[in-house]
Amino acid sequence: MYSKNRTHGKTPSSYSRVKPLLSAASVAVSVLVLFCVIWSFGNPFSSFSDLRNCSSNSSYNDRKTDPPEKTFYDDPELTYTLENPIKNWDEKRNEWLRLHPTFAGNRVLILTGSQPAPCKNPAGDHLLLRCFKNKVDYARIHGYEIFYSNAFLNPNMKSYWAKIPLVRAAMVAHPEAEWIWWVDSDAIFTDMDFKVPLKRYSRHNFVVHGWPDMIYEKKSWVAVNAGIFLIRNCQWSMEFLDAWARMGPQSPDFRQWGQTLRKTFKDKMFPESDDQSALVYLLLKEKEKWGHMMYVENEYSLHGYWVAVVGKLDDMIARYEKIERKRAELRRRHAEAVSESYGEMWEEHLQDGGDRKGGWRRPFITHFTGCQPCSGKYNPSYTGNDCWVGMEKALNFADNQVLRRYGFWHPNLVNGTVSPLPFNFPGESEELLA
């Protein structure tokens, strides 16, 4: 918000003394405004971000003004649904940003959601609530917007297909967002400091966790995980979503696509067309059209398989606390609003930690694939309460990173109770850990 400092003169004489100062201030403001205007028109590389840098608060977003000039929102032919493709979306979106310059930038919108009905698993709704809180915490710490949907925007596209019409609608509803980031409801942020390296993807429009050799050599339907991905808000993405959705249950060719995918991927054991097999198919069979704009990420755990993670959480805590005992600046108490600066400080101490292949670094996201917390019908290969105990541990592990900024923590990862943290925790003494 802008602060308003006004001088109120009580007498004509006091006003006369202030008047020259006001005049000087007015001249200074006029010069600054003129400089911004000249720079924006004179510099061929100027952008909306340049205009924002000329304001007294570069993070200011004008949420109260919507200019009267017509935009794509005034076009009755344009819809939020997959059935009506959008053309020239880049031009439409750029025009909207021109009229709303304070919203320009590399913004991220996190999307997640669940089914409209209550969970059948007695603990399901509670687990989903905690998973959503985890995403809200991460979004708040890093300044991201987040939207949770509990509706099927296309009644024919349910379960894992439901995200595609939601992503499409979100792109239209949020032209200010450069990236739409889908995160499954059963995925948990377990490194609250880590940020997605968006600069790495400057030449790409789609980011998904996976392994290229499993796509192009082994031809496996599990070569990527479609439960977490980033997609750029652009015309390419609009067309890609249309192509992806054509393999879904709303398509008259849905059954045929199931057969095609089953023949293509020998390790696919079920006949139905699914979103993940469809995504790998597009990468494999239409690489020239889509693949060159997709980044298959495996340098960090955009998707960390929970079975490989949960058993290492206690060791990760011990490794991080060992580092903190040696580095007072890392354990310094601080406001949540400046958490990102501490995350950056941590990086130099984590270079040899890794978060894959036996590494001890916190995995960015731990994904409880196959657990089905809402229905309770988990993969039969999992035993007993592995899923629910694992989710509880991962949630408390992540929550500790948040609660610490409020002066509390979960001493035991399988227990929801909290305790106050002593000053200088974990300090120099082993006694503080007892």
Q: What type of residue sits at position 122?
A: P
Q: What is the pLDDT of residue 356?
A: 60
Report the pLDDT averaged over residues 112-125: 94
Polymer length in residues for the chain: 434
Q: What is the pLDDT of residue 358?
A: 63
Pinpoint the residues of the chain covered by CATH 3.90.550: 72-185+195-297
Q: pLDDT confidence of 341, banded at 50, 70, 90?
A: very high
Q: What is the pLDDT of residue 428?
A: 60
Q: What type of residue sits at position 208?
A: V
Report the pLDDT averaged over residues 387-394: 96
Mean pLDDT is lowest, of 94-98, 272-276, 329-333, 426-430, for: 426-430
pLDDT tens-digit map of 350-385: 988 876 656 899 999 999 999 999 999 999 989 878
Percent of the chain scored above 90 by pLDDT? 78
Distance, CA of 420 to CA of 85 (rounded, Å): 54
Percent of the chain scored above 70 by pLDDT? 84
pLDDT tens-digit map of 7-22: 333 333 333 333 343 3
CA distances from 45 to 58, 91, 94, 202, 204 (A): 18, 18, 16, 17, 21
Q: What type of residue sits at position 375?
A: S
Give the torsion sign (CA, 205, 132, 410, 330): positive
Q: What is the pLDDT of residue 333?
A: 93
Indicate if the pLDDT at residue 178 is higher than 50. yes
SS3 366: strand
Distance, CA of 74 to CA of 60 (rounded, Å): 26
User: pTM of this prediction?
Assistant: 0.84
Mean pLDDT is lowest, of 57-71, 80-94, 161-175, for: 57-71
Indicate if the pLDDT at residue 34 is higher than 80. no
Q: What is the pLDDT of residue 357?
A: 56
On the CB side of 160, CA atoms within 13 Å amount to 19
Structure tokens at 279: 């995504």
On the CB side of 362, CA atoms within 13 Å amount to 24
Indicate if the pLDDT at residue 434 is higher than 50. no
Pairing of strands 187-189, 365-367: antiparallel
Report the pLDDT averaged over residues 224-235: 98
Distance, CA of 398 to CA of 188 (rounded, Å): 8
User: Which residue has better confidence, 427 or 41?
Assistant: 427
Q: What is the pLDDT of residue 331?
A: 92
Report the pLDDT averaged over residues 61-84: 94
- Write down the architecture of domain 72-185+195-297 according to CATH: Alpha-Beta Complex (3.90)
Distance, CA of 113 to CA of 173 (rounded, Å): 16
What is the overall mean pLDDT for the chain? 86
Query: Exposed, middle or buried: residue 367 (CB in 10 Å: 0-12, 13-18, 19+)?
Result: buried
Pairing of strands 177-183, 408-409: unpaired
Say which residues have a Cβ less than 8 Å from residue 374's Cβ, sequence separation at least 6.
114, 115, 119, 120, 121, 124, 125, 127, 128, 185
DSSP string, 54-76: TSS-TT----S---SS--GGG-T
pLDDT tens-digit map of 119-160: 999 999 999 999 999 999 999 999 999 999 999 999 999 999
In sequence order, the β-bridge partners of residue 109 are 145, 180
Distance, CA of 146 to CA of 413 (rounded, Å): 27
> Which H or E run contains 228?
strand 224-232
Q: What is the pLDDT of residue 397?
A: 98
Structure tokens at 378: 């988990």
